[in-house]
Amino acid sequence: MILKGGTQNCISPSESHLERSIIINRISIESPQCRLKSITSSSESMSSLSEALPVCISSINTQLNADNTGLGFAVAEASLESGAFVTISSSSSSRVESSVEALKKSYPAGKVQGYGCDLSKPTVEKDIEDLFTKTGKVDHIVFTAGDKLASVPIQEATYEFIQRAGQVRFIAPLLVAKVGSRYLEKSPQSSITLTTGTVAEHPIPNWSVVASYAAGLHGMTKNLAIDLKPIRVNLVSPGFVDTELWKDMSTGEKEEMMKGIADKVPTGKVAKPEDVAEAYLWLMKDSNVTGFVASSDSGSRLV
Ligand SMILES: NC(=O)c1ccc[n+]([C@@H]2O[C@H](COP(=O)([O-])OP(=O)(O)OC[C@H]3O[C@@H](n4cnc5c(N)ncnc54)[C@H](OP(=O)(O)O)[C@@H]3O)[C@@H](O)[C@H]2O)c1
């Protein structure tokens, strides 16, 4: 089930070697400059699209009519632009519904569906099972769910607090990999991509709890890549990205933080979700990469 996805429309004859190499998965993931063309391409590519199995993205965040969406939303957009059939999820069915509507509006030819799945409950494994029962077989799984950052001075971190902080960010991705892998074909074309952050390698005062789980995701990814082989398991490690994750900060505080970051990092700019989305797309489409941590972090780990 390889998709045509309209690539012939956007690749010149001299680039035909690229055409072959980019149509590699059951979903067609194309070079960024070709994406918009392919989603609006002919009915032939639409029938191919309907054959595709979904990319399942948990979780997604969009603040409608705002610039700063979450990483999940940006990955969903990029996947739709690349011809994938996308399933999204978050803890809130109504937010999922409005995100599906927003994506359908932006990509009328795209195939997108969504289901609520709250990863914060003790029933998380069953809830994930229920989610995958609804999606059925998928080709790729992307995990970007993250609740409020558990950044507190270590003396205030109680047993309950530490345990709770790991539920969505550590236990849930492990269970998504466990359960979700049964819905992926056992092939290197299939992938699971998890999400950590640069704090795993670059300490921040009062972030010991967050950093512990973030660093744990490095080990989790590498070990899962062995346990679930030949399914590929990879990790994206973003630096600061302007998303809803920082919504609790005042505008002034956030602007000051963003300026400080832009002044410090080698790229000289704060990343947007669509920048980091490219890392997820690469890890989905490159069937030769597994157990890898892709840093999309403005070079922040270097300074
Ligand atoms: N933005 C950054 O600067 C940055 C940097 C490094 C790492 N990261 C990490 O990257 C991941 C995505 O970040 P983001 O910036 O896209 O954050 P975001 O915009 O806040 O998105 C996080 C998503 O997680 C979902 N979520 C929260 N609680 C959930 C639950 N109990 N069950 C299911 N879904 C839940 C939220 O949707 P609902 O509220 O609708 O459930 C939301 O869609 C997070 O793990 C974050 O820590 C982000």
Candidate of 60, 61, 69 to mutate for ligand 1, largest count of ligand atoms within 8 Å of Cβ: 61
* Confidence band of 9 (pLDDT split at 50, 70, 90): very low
Q: How far is the CA of 19 from the centre of ligand 1 (A)?
A: 34
Residue 286 reports pLDDT greater than 50? yes
pLDDT number for residue 133:
95
Whether the ω angle into residue 230 lies within 30 degrees of 0, i.e. cis, is: yes
Residue type, 129: E
* Confidence band of 244 (pLDDT split at 50, 70, 90): confident
Q: What pLDDT, in 10s, does the model give residues 19-68?
A: 222 222 223 333 333 332 222 222 333 322 233 445 666 555 444 334 44
Rounded to whole angstroms, the Cα distance separating 176 from 165 reads 17
Q: What percent of the chain has pLDDT over 70?
A: 78
Which strands, in side-by-side order, build the sheet including 111-116?
111-116, 85-90, 54-58, 140-143, 191-195, 232-238, 293-296
The answer to whether the CB of 218 falls within 8 A of the CB of 48 is no
Residue 1 reports pLDDT greater than 60? no
Strands of the chain, DSSP E:
54-58, 85-90, 111-116, 140-143, 191-195, 232-238, 293-296
pTM above 0.75, yes or no: yes
End-to-end Cα distance, the chain: 45
112 DSSP β-pair partners: 86
Rounded to whole angstroms, the Cα distance separating 96 from 102 reads 10
pLDDT number for residue 58:
57
Give the residue, by CA position, lying nearest to ligand 1 atom 27: 147
Rounded to whole angstroms, the Cα distance separating 201 from 57 reads 25
pLDDT number for residue 189:
95
CATH code of 27-296, in short, is: 3.40.50.720
- Average pLDDT (266-287) is 96
pLDDT number for residue 129:
96
- Tell me how crowded residue 254 is: count the other CB atoms within 10 A of its CB: 15
67 contact partners, CB below 8 Å, separation of at least 6: 242
List the structure tokens of 278. 């490219």
Candidate of 88, 89, 91 to mutate for ligand 1, largest count of ligand atoms within 8 Å of Cβ: 91
Which of the pair, 218 or 32, is modelled with greater confidence? Answer: 218
Q: What pLDDT, in 10s, does the model give residues 151-202?
A: 999 999 999 999 999 999 999 999 999 999 999 999 999 999 999 999 999 9
Q: How far is the CA of 149 from the centre of ligand 1 (A)?
A: 9
pLDDT number for residue 69:
79
* Range of lowest pLDDT (18-27, 60-69, 71-80, 221-230): 18-27
What one-character DSSP code corresponds to residue 241? B
Domain edges within the chain:
27-296
pLDDT number for residue 30:
35
Q: Please report the atom of ligand 1 found closest to the CA of residue 60.
A: 43
Candidate of 63, 69, 90 to mutate for ligand 1, largest count of ligand atoms within 8 Å of Cβ: 90
Give the residue, by CA position, lying nearest to ligand 1 atom 37: 90
Q: How far is the CA of 76 from the centre of ligand 1 (A)?
A: 14
- Average pLDDT (76-99) is 92
Residues in contact with ligand 1 (CB, 6 Å cut-off): 59-61, 70-72, 90-92, 95, 118-120, 144-147, 168-169, 195, 197, 238, 240-241, 243-245
